[in-house]
Structure 1
């Protein structure tokens, strides 16, 4: 049998035909195409014959073996069979009239579904009368175009459908305006109603414009998605929208979606609002340095919309806020969010962030406050459009009075009046001339401006936070016995922040880039990380002043880093003060090595927290109160020790000049508790139960530190069985505590260690009155829940309590000092507890389920990798997604 080379394409789909009808030789690519063509074929061929493989002459084979090109891509030819194989029929038992859709893929009936967590950009392609809309993901536009072109080529050899070929619900190809679309038949009468499944539109089509589908058409999901918005305001056909699936459907099965809120928070001053309600309240003045010619700046708050914070918290408590799933931009300029602070949720401006651990530096734009938070979400759309409640004002240059005193004296009658000339023609009102009034009397002329939290926009170098009277502080630097630097207790966390922010701060390229007066991050191996101001250069080293403690250091250039926004905008809460009464004692009367100075240095080394009491209005003289049962001030503790030198051995009396009286015995060194009244001005006597005895006993304690212990970390590897010790607050911090024992003997020895610790703890003889552990020191601690003694590490001392980490289990609590005793050397064995971060941790997911799961399971199988912190591990838990979805619980 000879074949016409030009007719070697399937008459149904137009692809290469390697099979043919046994009776008449019609070419087909497979039996499915033959069955589709049977309604036409049966009029000139007998009962449906089987197919046989086409036999192709050698010349034709060589001619057709070359690859064909579609667009820019080469398509390989269908393999050619030899003459011997052409005689072997491929027979398949087919039922005449079997429905076509049973042989087609059903994928076309389901739409392409975007992720429920992510916003996707789409185009509106059709709008129903019931308010629902059809959209197509912009990301699929190229795939849809390729499918349309391929369909057009495949339909070139197809014949139009006959009425008996199609049923309602069938997939067909539809020619609309000379372009081919996939469609679903939804009604049949004289013509057909077809929904274009890739666009959602419904068209009426004649049968001559409709074609039976080729299999490839059914293998793609429908590109059009039917969704429902709460309101269609502003929605139009061919308009682009940014939507996100909410994971729920209407009773009709339509996907409910949320439109991405546009950042419509006005950055303009609320001039129109303040023109109607001119009353404002004074929030704060930013501390300024007159030597740097920094202007006086005050933050004022509009009195209207006072319920904004309540509405925000009510909205987010009823329904959790939408989390940010996309990454935060590295270059942050205008990024608004809702931040959870100590006072509740607040609308905020993002200044900077740290990824690990996740921490955000935000400016609360309705409160005029910079704060740190680890939880943020999107601002509800209904609260986006409200104006910023806080704005800044700067007095005119000729104003010489204190702006803070003037505004504090104004009280509740303060209001603002704008100079409205030439303002109506301006679209952006970011700065306006105005006057501050009290009872219709002008206080001063000011320039009002919007403020988004970056203090450099106001001409200031740092965001300086004043220390409030009665707040908690610690001594951050000792200058002498009269002067000290104090810092707010909140700045204690800065040390960790500066460690995590180091990757965001690149090194300086050359020394000339380091300018005197600039702010830098210092990365010192000996002193740790801190931010400082360059004050000078000495001996090829830079003199820097730690702006958070007040201390000064000489640092090499290779330890300096450029500041990032986190370094530049983190509040500075430190000041230099004099100690009440002590500052009035002349230095000539005080020994250079006074014991009082030792007391200051001890408080400084321990970072002891005390309550500040300012003695004057300008905050230059203070007294500090401790948290003992009978609070004692710093001045009261130092005063009896001022004239007592540190104990030193003096020369024997025989070396003194000869005297007519009997030579005295050699003078012994005076201890702090042996205060002599000789040659000392009269002072109040020390109390009879002086705490110095306790200090003496504590000095005799042999101290051991956690960093000196051997660490038995989890071994690295796959499919490791580890023992979970503690998973408390895993959903907040992203890590748990686990351990691994190499053998049963090791586990038994560790249990014996715990028993030994418990038995030593119950012996009262080991108590040391007045014992005060150092930060990082190992100690024995009585756990409050079971009244048993365990090994602990002191993390912080506050008054008469200490924060203790139970190093063998990973949990922590605040313990009174009377429940803490020194640790003996016999229980100084290695630590098996390992801090384990969870691979895949995401605060947007409900990791409370995993926390409860680990608390119940005790032992888990996981893969153990190197951790992000020293002496830590990263564990990958199999089937974590199933645990979070509660499938394995």
Structure 2
């Protein structure tokens, strides 16, 4: 019997359609007047299917060449095409749906005509000839494309479907005249992408009137104007390979299920194709304002990784900021740039779906998936799918397989980005090794809370969300999430931990700190609050956590280091201990790694002569004066924080600060930032590019006018003049981390404005904030800054669009070091007060074609 190289799906018309004049049943030259009988089932033999039929043939033995042409729809008019075959290298075969009834009739009549034909001998079969082929008890027209004489078999393309089958000679028959008189129904087309295309599914296509160099018709796909929410079951049956993109962090105490997000491997190239389209032409912008009550809204969102198909979860106005779910990546993103999804990318299914354990829910889904490796696939029980409309399936049972062995049974669900639909309270964004973090709350000298640097922008977001969050209109319960509107500190979102007489104990879910507030300051959360990722965790400091508290003074100077880092939100690199995921060391991210543990150890046993008080009492809202609420037994020990210190004892990092009380200190975070304006074809001035090939960013600035540039140069001259005078000389002066100062640059022996990033012995790591370069400067070459030069900062950290450490970006570093002015597109950056710059001709610069 025939061996199919790919499954052949019979094409059946769903309704009565008009037929073309070449329909065999309507051929006026045909003498066969017999009525067309009902098709037998596939289980009937070919002989029973054609018995009692009479064959009428022409006396002319020369076959027509009409079969070598295809029935084509009109050029540049949309038609419904059914996909009948997909080649491995891209082209697909389609049949005009308007002709499916005619095709079925032709297939039936070929069976009648072939009832007395004998199978071919090897001498009768030649490449390019027309034959009849018996496949699955049905007869089809075919063209021989290869012959294996020794095996007495041939490969034949079914000209009305496009599929290629391998046939034994006993299943190949010589053609009759009527087989050659009619054009082939299937024709070969080429789409820009086959993403989401499935056999036996309809596509709305339009012939463009042009062909590829291989003679394949080029077509345009008109997709549906909505993205289907159903699970792409049929696609997964054909292409079951999947990858793990995310395993959601689970809180067992809340009864949250184990959930993993899986991505369909066959759709992994979708993002690359979307970015290619939107880079060649600008996306269509939205002209109507976004509605607050919108629940399902599709858009293309520009993230730090490029454009992504996304679902809009919520937004803030003036300026616009969008919270979106990347449906093909399984993550939440913030963006200020959106456009409409190009039509050719609508209609494709969601490529990420959720799975939960169906059985043995106590076993770790996370560990099982980690052990699977890349060979992961999903299989469905076809009995469970019987009788169900696959176009409406949102949940179904399945099993995960790895290396042809079942891993576990799962429940598969379509997922639209709202994490509460999966039974989870928060969208938890894990902090991974080497991520940049800051200390968001100090518990004690052994433990701190760390948060992702991306959450630094939340303070501004929560301030802007106040208008979207109405006052609470129902009873507040322990465990509820609220927005806390504070007049004495920035707004924050929190979880209620205790309630007593309309006085509430709350825990800031983004920092871990606890506070007491009155009910009048609580707001009901909007979708933005509910779905904005939480990225913080409580960790122990490596080695320090093993030193018992009985050996450490309650007012240890080591707390000073933690307090300074906390107050200035210093960005640090996290290094998790290999043996304990809750133990870390924190490294200074601005220069060579510098261990927090190493800084704390020398002063750990040194007391500070001040009176401490619990940080939980600092500070309360001015309008709230409740009695202290007794913490529940599962709350953490009250946190301690320190007020400003007097001079530290010998060997402390601040041993030379003898005149600190006489110095008026000013901090970098208080200065106004003149960032590069967003826009296309902007001329910017590159200030510092050294180290670009490692970091992926440069420092640049922009002046809106010549006058502004002159004023900046005047500022630099004034800084140099003040630094050169002795008026600001302060013996023993040592800046604090984050403090503005004047520093003498070693290369030109001139004074510049700087920011202290770290103190190491008798030296300070200084960031020259007007240029972006770093230098270790001895304390003798540092002076306090004066108020007359406390002007805004123009230097902006600019990440390079398309940066990849695998490419030779050292060439770009040399290029930008020599070209101080460049033309580029300026986009919003991935971190606060940063930008992304897109440099034209980047590829030529990297390849040294442009020097």
Q: Does 1:453 align with 2:417?
A: yes
Q: Aligned partners of 1:338 and 1:414: how far apart in 2?
A: 29
Equivalence map 1:552-563=2 (5 Å): 552-563=514-525
1:126-275 to 2 correspondences below 5 Å: 262-275=224-237
Residue 402 of structure 2 corresponds to residue 438 of structure 1: yes
Alpha carbons of 1:770 and 1:562: their partners in 2 closer, same or farther (altered >3 Å)?
farther
Structure 1 position 331, deviation (Å): 1.9
Where 1:528 maps in the other structure, the secondary structure is coil
User: Which of the residues 330, 337, 347 maps onto 1:385?
Assistant: 347
Q: How far apart are the structure 1 equivalents of 2:319 and 2:757?
A: 19
Q: 1:827 aligns with which of 776, 788, 801?
A: 788
Residue 326 of structure 2 corresponds to which residue in structure 1?
364
Q: Give the aligned partner of residue 674 of structure 1.
A: 650
TM-score (norm 2): 0.54
| Whole-angstrom distance in 2 between the partners of 1:730 and 1:283 | 32
Q: Is the 8 A contact 1:544 1:555 kept in 2?
A: yes
Q: Are the equivalent residues in 1 in contact too, given 2:223–2:344 (CA < 8 A)?
A: no
Unaligned runs of 5+ residues in structure 2 are: 1-73, 79-219, 612-644, 683-700, 795-820, 822-851
CA–CA separation in structure 1 for the residues paired with 2:675 and 2:426: 39
Correspondence for 2:272 among 310, 322, 343: 310
SS in 1 for 2:240: coil
Which residue of structure 1 lines up, in the alignment, with residue 365 of structure 2? 403
The answer to whether the aligner puts 1:641 opposite 2:603 as a matched pair is: yes
1:425 aligns with 2:373: no
Q: Which residue of 1 aligns with 2:455?
A: 491
The one-character-per-residue Cα deviations of 1:595-630 (angstroms, maximum 9, x if unpaired) are 112221121112111111111455211111224765
Residues matched between the structures, number: 522
Relative to 1, partners in 2 of residues 1:789 and 1:641: Cα closer, same or farther, differing over 3 Å?
A: closer
1:276 aligns with 2:235: no
Gaps of 5+ in 1: 1-128, 134-257, 650-668, 676-689, 712-724, 742-747, 807-811, 835-854, 856-889
| Counterpart for residue 545 of structure 2 | 583
1:469-484 alignment runs, 5 A limit: 469-484=433-448
Find the aligned partners of 2:435 and 2:714 in 1 and give their Cα distance.
46
Question: So what's the TM-score if we normalise by structure 1?
Answer: 0.52
2:427 paired residue among 463, 485, 490:
463
Pair 1:605 & 2:567 matched = yes
Distance 2:375 2:499 in 1: 51
Contact 1:418 1:435 (8 Å CA) reproduced: yes
Task: Indicate the residue corresponding to 1:28 in structure 2.
Answer: none
Shift of 1:817: 7.3
Would the aligned equivalents of 1:370 and 1:453 in 2 still touch at CA under 8 Å?
A: yes
Q: CA distance change for structure 1 residues 816 and 559 in 2, over 3 Å: closer, same or farther?
A: farther
Q: Contact (CA 8 Å) 2:300, 2:309: kept in 1 or not?
A: yes
- Superposed displacement of residue 577, structure 1: 0.9
In the TM superposition, residue 784 of structure 1 has moved relative to its aligned partner by 14
Q: Please give the per-residue CA displacement for 1:471-516, whole angstroms capped at 9, x wherever unaligned.
A: 111111011111111111111111111112221111223xx43222
Q: Which residue of 1 aligns with 2:679?
A: 731
Q: Which has the larger radius of gyration?
A: 1
Q: Does the 8 Å contact 1:753/1:827 carry over to 2?
A: no
Instruction: Provide the rounded CA distance (Å) in 2 between the counterparts of 1:340 and 1:590.
Output: 50
Please state how far the C-alpha of 1:264 moved relative to its aligned partner.
2.4
Measured at CA, do residues 590 and 272 of structure 1 come closer, stay the same or move farther in structure 2, by a change above 3 Å? same
Verify the 8 A CA contact 1:727 1:737 in the aligned structure 2.
no
Mapped to 1, the partners of 2:513 and 2:650 lie a distance apart of: 33
CA deviation map 1:679-732 (0-9, x unaligned):
xxxxxxxxxxx74446668776431469999x9xxxxxxxxxxxxx97941538
Is the aligned partner of 1:545 residue 2:491?
no
Using the alignment, how far apart are the partners of 1:794 and 1:302 within structure 2? 48
The answer as to 2:554 corresponding to 1:592 is yes
Residue 545 of structure 1 aligns to a residue whose secondary structure is strand
The alpha-carbon distance between structure 1 residues 732 and 489, as it changes in their structure 2 partners (threshold 3 A), is farther
Partner Cα distance (1:332, 1:822) in 2: 56
Provide, for residues 292-320 of structure 1, a one-character-per-residue CA deviation record: whole Å limited to 9, x for no partner: 00000001111102221111111111111
Q: 2:533 aligns with which of 571, 575, 585?
A: 571
Q: Give yes or no for contact 1:454–1:569 (8 Å, CA) kept in 2.
A: yes
Residues 383, 540 of structure 1: alpha-carbon distance in 2 compared, 3 angstrom cutoff: closer
- Write out aligned runs for 1:316-335 (5 A): 316-335=278-297
Q: Residues 543 and 738 (structure 1 numbering): CA distance in 2 closer, same or farther, change over 3 Å?
A: farther
The 3 A distance-change label for structure 1 pair 727 and 479 is: closer
> Which residue number corresponds to residue 147 of structure 1?
none
Shift of 1:464: 0.3
Q: Does 1:615 align with 2:577?
A: yes
Give the Cα–Cα distance (whole angstroms) in 2 for the partners of residues 782 and 325 of structure 1: 53
Q: Aligned to 2:249, which of 287, 293, 296?
A: 287
In 2, distance between residues paired with 1:781 and 1:671? 23
Deviation at 1:548, TM superposition (A): 0.5
Shift of 1:631: 3.2
CA distance in 2, matches of 1:708, 1:306: 44
Secondary structure of the residue aligned to 2:491 is strand
Question: 1:120: which partner in 2?
Answer: none
1:768, distance to aligned residue in structure 2 (A): 8.8
Q: Distance in 1 between matches of 2:544 and 2:792?
A: 49
Change (3 A) 1:822 1:331: farther
Deviation at 1:419, TM superposition (A): 2.3
Q: Is the 8 A contact 1:269 1:450 kept in 2?
A: yes
Are 1:415 and 2:377 counterparts?
yes
How far apart in 1 are the matches of 2:287 and 2:338? 11
The higher-RCO structure (CA 8 Å, 6+ apart) is 2
Please name the residue that 2:477 is paired with: 515
Query: How far apart, in 1, do the equivalents of 2:586 and 2:248 lie?
Result: 25
Of 265, 272, 297, 2:259 maps to 297
Q: Distance in 1 between matches of 2:464 and 2:733?
A: 36
